[in-house]
């Protein structure tokens, strides 16, 4: 049976591969011809780049080379999925942890295929610099592709029993990383505007929650359902700035409404919505929900509202020590585009002793969390990939408790370092940027960093650091935030030795509090003290192009400094 499935998957691959369109030039004036060497010199892997691009075309330009590299990336992604499927179809010799790592790789590879297909459609029909929002969309997807490959590789490396799988996949993963990096570099060079990418003047605070309430536009029936189970009074108005809702379901543990579990409500959501008719709203009444919730890639523009922090609680206890991959240890995971959550506590109760144990894994583009709480110890919030915004949230943890490689902005949030194990120290962020052309990083603006109650009442002193470089081009910025006296004067901590100290980017701007003083900070080449011009690059309007998508969520934000 496994043998037949393997050849079936190969057949499907060849059918799909044959359907991939060939690169073609758009009907626009051509860019200046350049040599392969010139096109490749600004990539991370110039020798590899020259080996995959044609060298005998004297009329090719950066757009031609970019189309070719994305086309090759698409073909390679198909092959990699078939390779993983082959291992999974012959998995009788693998341990459960190795199979789990492979399943993560399969899931991530399928996302990559989607991103590459979408990216190819754009580059195949454009041969000029794109408008900021279109360029940011593709650069975000190509950045996420590299993140997904790295996540797959990390999962395999963390699985000691998967040595044979690692040997078989290490070379394809290495080549794919180089190929995807070349595609990202060429796209950045040819299609991404060189000027500041904000499309609207920053600094405004658009429509948002009014008096702590969502400005939802509901039918009378929907509003009656909502208000009958909620203490809030939902604003019913036809004025501009109201967030439309296409449908609403209610989760209540007593069985008095639509569903008793959140998972059942999520499964009832429409597939592949573009959000034009409004959000599918899941209202989760107060209660402790012991379940693992996963919102898939086709469950888009879903909004989930609870009764508030510590009222509506979603909790689990999966951890790396108990056999889960870090990627799949989350209590709550979401990859569906346009997700919005408000008024919910997400919790992983595995404890510090279980090491990596994620409360939320977020890989949803244009996702927003408002007035939510994230509670765990090591690796609490996995801001995995794509564009994310967090406002007025509480985040608790110990080691690397905000980590990942999203383009993530945190505004008006509270970060609470907790009590770690003896011999450990606290690190708030571990950002995972692996390529200088990725438009990713962690921006922390107008937030408060204070010890949690359990740490503050402890008789033991533990160092707390703002971040450390998980990957080669790690990027994190703290701006206009309150840093309490628990912050070590060095501010930042190395990962191991001098790894990434030259290539990472860590910066601070106009912070306050006992821990703000930068006079004793690390002296790494990658550490910076910003002025207002530099800090503006990490604001919502610039870093996330927030003015183009955040207003529709109803969540308040500051576009500038």
Pairing label, strands 367-370, 426-431: unpaired
Q: CB 47: neighbour CB atoms within 10 A?
A: 9
Pairing label, strands 448-449, 482-483: parallel
Residue of 64, 379, 400, 435 marked active site = 400
Dihedral sign, Cα of residue 474, residue 480, residue 483, residue 488: positive
Beta bridge partners of 302: 280
DSSP 425: -
Backbone angles phi, psi at 383, to 5 degrees: -80, 80
Longest dimension (CA), the chain: 71
Q: Which two tokens stand for residue 435?
A: 């390529």
Crossing angle (nearest 10°) for helices 62-89 and 2-19? 170
Q: CB 473: neighbour CB atoms within 10 A?
A: 22
453 vs 471: CA distance, rounded Å: 31
Q: List, edge to edge, every strand of the sheet that includes 312-316.
A: 287-290, 312-316, 345-348, 373-375, 394-397, 414-417, 448-449, 482-483
61 vs 325: CA distance, rounded Å: 43
Q: Which two tokens stand for residue 273?
A: 């919505």
Dihedral sign, Cα of residue 452, residue 453, residue 456, residue 460: negative
Q: Which two tokens stand for residue 450?
A: 């204070």
Dihedral sign, Cα of residue 88, residue 94, residue 95, residue 98: negative
Which helix (DSSP H) or strand (DSSP E) does residue 110 occupy?
Answer: helix 96-123
115 vs 109: CA distance, rounded Å: 10
77: Cβ contacts below 8 Å, ≥ 6 apart: 109, 112, 113, 116, 176
| Chain centre to alpha carbon of residue 532 | 26
Which helix (DSSP H) or strand (DSSP E) does residue 168 occupy?
Answer: helix 163-190
Tell me which residue of 303, 287, 337 sits closest to 214, measured CA to CA.
Answer: 303
Q: Is 379 a catalytic residue?
A: no
**How many CA atoms, within 13 angstroms, populate the side-chain half-sphere of residue 19?**
8
Residue 425 to residues 103, 189, 389, 453: CA-CA distances in angstroms? 32, 41, 27, 17
Which of the residues are catalytic? Answer: 400
């Amino acid at each position: 049976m496994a043998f037949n499935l393997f050849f079936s998957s190969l057949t499907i691959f060849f059918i799909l591969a044959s359907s991939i369109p060939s690169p073609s030039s758009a009907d626009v004036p051509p860019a200046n011809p350049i040599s392969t060497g010139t096109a490749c010199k600004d990539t991370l892997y110039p020798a590899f780049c020259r080996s995959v691009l044609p060298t005998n075309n004297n009329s090719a330009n950066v757009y031609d080379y970019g189309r070719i590299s994305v086309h090759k990336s698409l073909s390679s992604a198909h092959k990699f999925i078939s390779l993983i499927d082959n291992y999974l179809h012959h998995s009788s010799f693998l341990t459960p942890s190795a199979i789990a790592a492979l399943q993560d790789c399969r899931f991530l590879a399928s996302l990559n295929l989607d991103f590459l297909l979408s990216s190819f459609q754009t580059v195949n029909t454009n041969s000029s610099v794109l408008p900021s929002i279109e360029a940011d969309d593709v650069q975000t997807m190509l950045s996420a592709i590299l993140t997904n490959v790295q996540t797959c590789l990390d999962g395999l490396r963390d699985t000691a029993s998967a040595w044979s799988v690692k040997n078989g996949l290490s070379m394809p993963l290495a080549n794919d990383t180089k190929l995807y990096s070349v595609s990202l570099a060429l796209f950045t060079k040819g299609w991404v505007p060189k000027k500041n990418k904000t499309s609207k003047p920053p600094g405004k605070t658009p429509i948002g929650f009014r008096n702590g309430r969502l400005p939802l536009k509901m039918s009378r029936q929907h509003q009656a359902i909502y208000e009958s189970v909620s203490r809030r009074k939902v604003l019913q108005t036809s004025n501009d700035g109201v967030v439309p809702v296409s449908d609403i379901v209610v989760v209540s543990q007593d069985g008095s409404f639509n569903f008793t579990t959140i998972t059942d409500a999520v499964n009832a959501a429409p597939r592949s919505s573009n959000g034009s008719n409004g959000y599918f709203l899941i209202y989760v009444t107060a209660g402790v929900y012991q379940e693992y919730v996963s919102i898939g890639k086709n469950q888009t523009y879903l909004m989930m509202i609870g009764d508030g922090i510590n009222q509506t609680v979603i909790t689990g206890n999966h951890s790396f020590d108990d056999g889960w991959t870090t990627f799949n240890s989350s209590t709550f995971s979401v990859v569906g585009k346009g997700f919005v959550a408000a008024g919910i506590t997400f919790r992983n109760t595995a404890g510090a002793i279980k090491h990596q144990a994620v409360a939320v894994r977020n890989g949803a583009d244009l996702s927003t969390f408002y007035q939510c709480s994230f509670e765990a110890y090591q690796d609490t919030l996995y801001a995995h990939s794509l564009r994310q915004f967090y406002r007025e949230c509480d985040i608790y943890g110990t080691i690397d408790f905000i980590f990942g490689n999203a383009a993530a902005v945190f505004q008006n949030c509270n970060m609470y370092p907790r009590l770690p194990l003896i011999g450990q120290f606290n690190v708030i962020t571990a950002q995972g940027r692996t390529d200088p052309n990725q438009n990713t990083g962690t921006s922390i603006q107008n937030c408060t960093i204070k010890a949690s109650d359990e740490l503050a009442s402890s008789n033991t002193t533990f160092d707390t650091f703002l971040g450390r470089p998980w990957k080669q081009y790690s990027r994190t910025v703290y701006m206009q935030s309150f840093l309490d006296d628990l912050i070590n004067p060095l501010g930042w901590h190395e990962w191991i030795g001098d790894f990434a100290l030259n290539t990472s980017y860590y910066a601070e701007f106009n912070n306050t509090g006992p821990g703000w003083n930068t006079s004793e900070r690390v002296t790494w080449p990658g550490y910076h003290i910003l002025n207002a011009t530099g800090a503006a690059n990490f604001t919502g309007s610039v870093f996330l192009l927030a003015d183009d998508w955040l207003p529709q969520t109803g969540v308040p934000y500051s576009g500038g400094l």
